[in-house]
Amino acid sequence: MKPVIIKKYSYFVMGDDRDLSFDSRFFGALPRWFIKGKVIEIKK
């Protein structure tokens, strides 16, 4: 895949099954207002 430039307040999202997921590699970056949810945990 070629490098992608993501605009401010947009996100590149990927599915959990990379080979079969329909994600930002196909439809591009999502604007922030498309994303709903809340962070529950961040693992380091």
pLDDT in tens, 7-38: 999 999 888 887 888 888 889 999 999 989 88
- How much is the pLDDT for 29? 93
The alpha carbon dihedral of 34, 40, 18, 12 has a sign of positive
> Is the Cβ–Cβ distance between 29 and 7 less than 8 Å?
yes
What's the whole-model pTM score?
0.64
Determine the Cα angle at 11 with ends 6 and 18, to 5°: 105
DSSP state of 29: P
- Calpha distance 44→12 (Å, rounded): 20
